[in-house]
């Protein structure tokens, strides 16, 4: 009996020892993988739930699109285009470019920004090459300076082709002008946007003597653009045509490298040539317009909506300049005469006839020199249409 009781006691003690051991192991066992993973996650800020769960632990939708501080969809990235103006900000061409840029901004709700650089990205010929290569997005070149790259505007360069400046735009809108602009695009490898107005054609300016008739410039060195038409015209008046890049012209006039210049009124005023040139004669002997264009690949990279907005802005800017810039120049002339002592002579009918008498001679000469490039019949059609 005693041995039985003793055996039962031993058995009970053994069972109790086993139970204590099991409980100790359970309390010190490592966390399950799920619990470890949950413990490793950063604690969510107060009042929020961990990503992917709602406060109650339910799954949530994918993260929402970025929003602004006001809770509105984030604004689209702005497309910035670099536009080179060959002139200072006061120039009518820069005024026109600024007008175009503002229209583009409004029509695209600020999504396209045309940033204008005034005289900082090179002269016109450099701008034309830079835009064609893509190193500059937008640029400009006059019909005269474009002669280095294309024959498209040889007809428009002819002296005394147009009797009124607005007739230049009427012609450019017709079949002759559209053909010339298409050739210009092809030859330069650019996308044409619109034609900027100088407000007036080329005049003759002389540093140190009054000018009324062609005899007054005989033997003088007159700056011209590198156009066969301009060279022939000035030579027909008895002067010595001298090509000078526009960026060097002020200094050339100041130092006496040339005695005079053939130039539209707007750059003459904007670049303060009246400081070194005191006499001018109002002739408008040659049409002066500026082609404003964009790199074609850059244009193609824009969305269809932005392309359409840009073309609409270009059309409106052309019409605005055509309508407003001639009157703007009239005010400029009046102010310049009053404040600088510059003398701007308007020739009589008889005096003007002496200047324009070279028209047929120059036309025939250039047509002969530029066979296959200048259509004299086309020039005569343009001229006769204004009768």
Nearest to 188 by CA among 298, 296, 94: 296
- Output b/e per residue, 27-42; b: 16+ Cβ within 10 A: eeeeeeeeeeeeeeee
* Range of lowest pLDDT (52-66, 69-83, 88-102, 104-118): 52-66
Coil vs helix vs strand at 264: strand
The pLDDT assigned to 366 comes to 94
Q: Is 316 exposed, middle or buried (0-12, 13-18, 19+ CB in 10 A)?
A: middle
The pLDDT assigned to 48 comes to 35
**pLDDT tens, 238-250?**
999 999 988 899 9
The pLDDT assigned to 300 comes to 98
Q: How many CA atoms lie within 13 A of 219 on its CB side?
A: 3
> Does residue 345 register a pLDDT over 80?
yes
Mean pLDDT computed over 131-145: 94
Residues 238, 243: Cα–Cα separation, whole Å: 16
> Does residue 351 register a pLDDT over 80?
yes
Question: Which CATH architecture does the domain made up of 79-198+288-328 adopt?
Answer: 3-Layer(aba) Sandwich (3.40)
Instruction: Compute the C-alpha angle 201/206/209, nearest 5°.
Output: 135
H or E stretch covering 10: helix 2-28
Structural domain spans, the chain: 79-198+288-328
Coil vs helix vs strand at 115: strand
Residues 61, 52: Cα–Cα separation, whole Å: 8
Mean pLDDT computed over 107-120: 94
Find tokens 């092809």 and name the residue: 186
Q: How many CA atoms lie within 13 A of 163 on its CB side?
A: 8
Provide DSSP, 288-321.
Answer: -EEEEEE-HHHHHHS-HHHHHHHHHHHHHHHHHH
H or E stretch covering 260: strand 260-264
* Range of lowest pLDDT (3-12, 211-220, 351-360): 3-12
Find tokens 């699109």 and name the residue: 65
Name the pTM for this structure: 0.74
Residues 90, 52: Cα–Cα separation, whole Å: 60
Tell me the range of 195-204, 244-253, 303-312 where mean pLDDT is highest. Answer: 303-312
Strand partners of residue 205 = 261, 280
The mean pLDDT value of the chain amounts to: 83
Measured CA to CA in angstroms, residue 369 lies from 147, 225, 287 at distances of 14, 17, 21
Q: In what order do the strands lie in the sheet with 202-206?
A: 240-243, 221-224, 260-264, 202-206, 279-281, 343-345
Tell me the range of 30-39, 53-62, 95-104 where mean pLDDT is highest. Answer: 95-104
Work out the number of other CB atoms within 10 angstroms of the CB of residue 4.
8
Strand partners of residue 206 = 260, 279
| Helix segments in 29-151, DSSP class H | 33-40, 92-107, 124-133
Give the distance, in angstroms, between the CA of residue 51 and the centroid of all CA atoms in the same chain.
Answer: 48
Q: In what order do the strands lie in the sheet with 112-118?
A: 112-118, 79-85, 138-142, 289-294, 191-197
Mean pLDDT computed over 290-313: 98
Give the distance, in angstroms, between the CA of residue 238 and the centroid of all CA atoms in the same chain.
Answer: 39
Mean pLDDT computed over 329-339: 88
Pairing of strands 289-294, 191-197: antiparallel
**CB-CB contact of 174 with 120 (8 Å):** no
**pLDDT tens, 36-83?**
333 333 333 333 333 333 333 333 334 444 444 555 555 678 999 999
Higher pLDDT, residue 311 or 88: 311
Residues 243, 233: Cα–Cα separation, whole Å: 13
**CB-CB contact of 125 with 330 (8 Å):** no
Higher pLDDT, residue 26 or 163: 163
Residues 55, 53: Cα–Cα separation, whole Å: 7
Provide, rounded to the nearest whole percent, the portion of the chain with pLDDT above 90: 58
Strand partners of residue 194 = 292
**CB-CB contact of 180 with 172 (8 Å):** yes
């Amino acid at each position: 009996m005693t041995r039985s009781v003793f055996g039962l006691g031993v058995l009970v003690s053994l069972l109790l020892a086993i139970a204590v051991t099991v409980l100790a192991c359970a309390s010190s066992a490592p966390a399950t993988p799920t619990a470890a993973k949950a413990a490793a996650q950063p604690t969510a800020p107060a009042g929020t739930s961990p990503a992917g769960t709602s406060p109650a632990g339910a799954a949530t939708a994918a993260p929402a699109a970025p929003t602004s501080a006001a809770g509105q969809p984030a604004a689209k990235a702005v497309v910035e285009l670099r536009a080179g103006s060959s002139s200072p900000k006061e120039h009518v061409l820069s005024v026109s470019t600024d007008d175009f840029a503002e229209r583009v901004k409004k029509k695209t709700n600020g999504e396209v920004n045309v940033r204008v650089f005034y005289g900082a990205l090179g002269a016109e010929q450099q701008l034309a090459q830079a835009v064609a290569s893509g190193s500059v997005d937008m640029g400009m070149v006059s019909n005269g300076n474009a002669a280095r790259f294309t024959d498209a505007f040889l007809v428009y360069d002819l002296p005394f082709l147009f009797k009124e400046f607005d007739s230049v735009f009427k012609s450019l809108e017709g079949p002759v002008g559209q053909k010339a602009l298409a050739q210009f695009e092809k030859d330069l490898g650019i996308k044409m946007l619109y034609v900027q107005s100088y407000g007036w054609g080329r005049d003759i300016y002389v540093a140190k003597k009054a000018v009324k008739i062609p005899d007054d410039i005989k033997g003088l060195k007159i700056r011209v653009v590198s156009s066969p038409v301009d060279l022939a015209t000035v030579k027909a008046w008895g002067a010595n045509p001298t090509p000078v890049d526009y960026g060097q012209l002020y200094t050339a006039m100041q130092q006496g490298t040339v005695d005079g210049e053939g130039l539209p009124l707007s750059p003459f005023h904007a670049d303060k040539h009246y400081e070194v040139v005191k006499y001018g004669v109002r002739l408008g002997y040659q049409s002066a317009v500026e082609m404003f264009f964009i790199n074609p690949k850059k244009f193609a990279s824009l969305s269809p909506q932005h392309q359409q907005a840009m073309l609409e802005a270009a059309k409106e800017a052309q019409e605005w300049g055509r309508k407003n810039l001639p009157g703007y120049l009239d005010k400029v002339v009046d102010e310049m005469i009053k404040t600088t002592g510059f003398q701007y002579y308007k020739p009589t009918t008889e005096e003007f006839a002496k200047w324009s008498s070279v028209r047929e001679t120059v036309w025939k000469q250039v047509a002969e020199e530029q066979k296959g490039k200048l259509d004299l019949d086309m020039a005569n059609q343009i001229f006769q249409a204004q009768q």
